[in-house]
Amino acid sequence: METLDGAELCFPELLNTSCRKKVRPHSEAMLFYILLSCVSVLTVALNVLVIISISHFRQRHTPTNLLLLSLAVSDLLAGLLLPVEILFSGACWLYGDFVCTLSFFVVLSVISVSVGNMVLISVDRYVAICYPLHYPTKMNQTRVRIYACLCWICALFYSSLILKDQLKQPGMFHSCVGECVVVFNYIAGTVDLVFNFIVPITVIVVLYMRVFVVAVSQARAMRSQTVAVTHQRPGTVTAKKSEMKAARTLGVVIFVFLMCYCPYYCFILAGNTSLVSASSLDFFTLLVYLNSCLNPVIYAFFYPWFRKSIKLIVTLQILQPGSRGANLQ
């Protein structure tokens, strides 16, 4: 059914309360849906490989990899949420107010977990490079598991606080039937911007600047140590090289994270949505989800053990007895 001005209604039987259908160019909408679908499939497939690689092979059960496992789980959920993003961008919301609010709650929780995991990864590399003697006690597997669990619990608690009123009364800000929006008041919006963007980004940048300075000084020290190798315990130089290579790799992960998340949050920080087109907002949103797809690609490019584990998984060799103890070096 159409209104007097020719616009179609989401629910024609509700003439006075139904939302009007959003209209966007067909080619633009199809391109956006195809991109989201492709990113969703790749994100899910690649992060499943990361999860299997780290959880199946005992050799990969290290504190750093446990944090990567937590990140991969949040990235996997982000990939599974992409179809919901397609629904958000559709003409009408057909699934009720409660499902709408719950969807925003899950999306906010996944984003918060991803940000928290990035901070933990930065802390892990900071302790490993700057305080290597304390690393085995401060970042052992038991503690890292606790840190990762606390990250997930805090993200869920944080999201419930931000969306407290709307979880109690779903659809409280909907102006018509067929709309799915969540509105943050000034305080909630400021808190989210500070704790989900400004503070984590500041911590990540400061820690990695410190890691970079220490890594450069250690690289110079290692070059001098190789000359007097008789005074160096066997394997120590190799261990230091391994730690710094991990720092460089995870530095790339964090850099890509910043590049994907900064445009979206800078748009939020600007606060003037009238200056940004719907297609630009779609692009910023796609960048956020694209980050979850790029992380496994970075692992595959920088980590030989990940490429070897993928080969074992794809060829189903992990189903053979004793495959958990395979050497992936």
Query: Which residues lie below 8 Å from residue 83, measured CB to CB, with a gap of 6+?
Result: 36, 37, 40
Is 173 in a helix, a strand, or coil?
Answer: coil
Distance, in Å, from the CA atom of 119 to the CA atom of 124, rounded to the nearest integer, reads: 9
Q: Are 56 and 318 in contact (CB under 8 A)?
A: yes
At 5 the pLDDT is 47
What is residue 323's predicted lDDT score, i.e. its pLDDT? 87
Please give the pLDDT value at position 6.
Answer: 45
- Tens-place pLDDT, residues 130-174: 888 889 998 999 999 999 999 999 999 999 998 888 888 887 777
pLDDT at residue number 120: 93
Q: Domains in the chain, please, with CATH?
A: 26-223+235-321 (1.20.1070.10)
Full-model pTM: 0.84
**Helix, strand, or coil (residue 221):** helix
Give the model confidence (pLDDT) of 22-77 as tens digits.
666 677 778 878 888 888 899 999 999 999 999 999 888 999 999 999 999 999 99
Please provide residue 24's backbone torsions phi and psi, each rounded to the nearest 5 degrees: -135, 155
Q: Which residue has the higher pLDDT, 129 or 179?
A: 129
Rounded to the nearest integer, the mean pLDDT of the chain is 80
Whose CA is closest to 243, among 133, 145, 324? 133
- Among candidate residues 319, 162, 78, 118, the one with its CA nearest the CA of residue 126: 118
Q: What is the spatial distance between Cα 144 and Cα 138, in angstroms, rounded to a whole number?
A: 9
Give the model confidence (pLDDT) of 73-111 as tens digits.
999 999 998 877 766 665 677 778 888 888 889 988 998
